[in-house]
Amino acid sequence: MTIGKLGEVTLEEFSVLDSSNLPVSGIPLTEFNAYLFDPSNNEIDSTNVIFIELGHGHYRAVFIPNQVGNWLLAVYHSVYFPWGKTNTIQVFSNDFDSINIMLQKILGLVQENFLMDNTIYDDNGNMISARIRTYSNSNSVGTDNDILETYNISTTYTDNQLTSYQVTT
């Protein structure tokens, strides 16, 4: 299975071997046929798939998915693999790097690698504002390095009772 990201170039590589299992280079790219199916099992216009020769009998099919889910790509060549080569491509809305950053931010909000400073209090000793910073590593907490996100806290009180607590970016 191949992994892709919504709206970004997705790649599927394949090799072409002759009957002696030797790589075949120089095949005209127009000799490859592609069938592409989206997660709803709808066939997508094959002109959306572009072929590239990488060299030494290796090729790449390229397309840009417009839906999250499992796509199917089938590539055919009338001489070398008339039965086709198929693969499922799992398309996500985020890549794993961006998911990792989101998870680090969440961990910061549950106070891992977290610093609250710039606190301001009213005359009754109630905190009315502050700043929270989350960091990608514990050695940077309290510095201006490796900051994942900065949040601002604001609060309101009625009769010395907290009535609202807001955290914004």
Question: Is the confidence at residue 17, as pLDDT, over 70?
Answer: yes
CA distance 34 to 101: 36
Question: Is the confidence at residue 102, as pLDDT, over 90?
Answer: no
pLDDT of the residue at 39:
96
Residues 98-127 have a mean pLDDT of 83
Residues 19-29 have a mean pLDDT of 96
The 3 state secondary structure assigned to 55-74 is ECCEEEEEECCCCCEEEEEE
> Domains of the chain (ranges plus CATH)?
2-92 (2.60.40.10), 102-168 (no CATH)
CA distance 27 to 11: 19
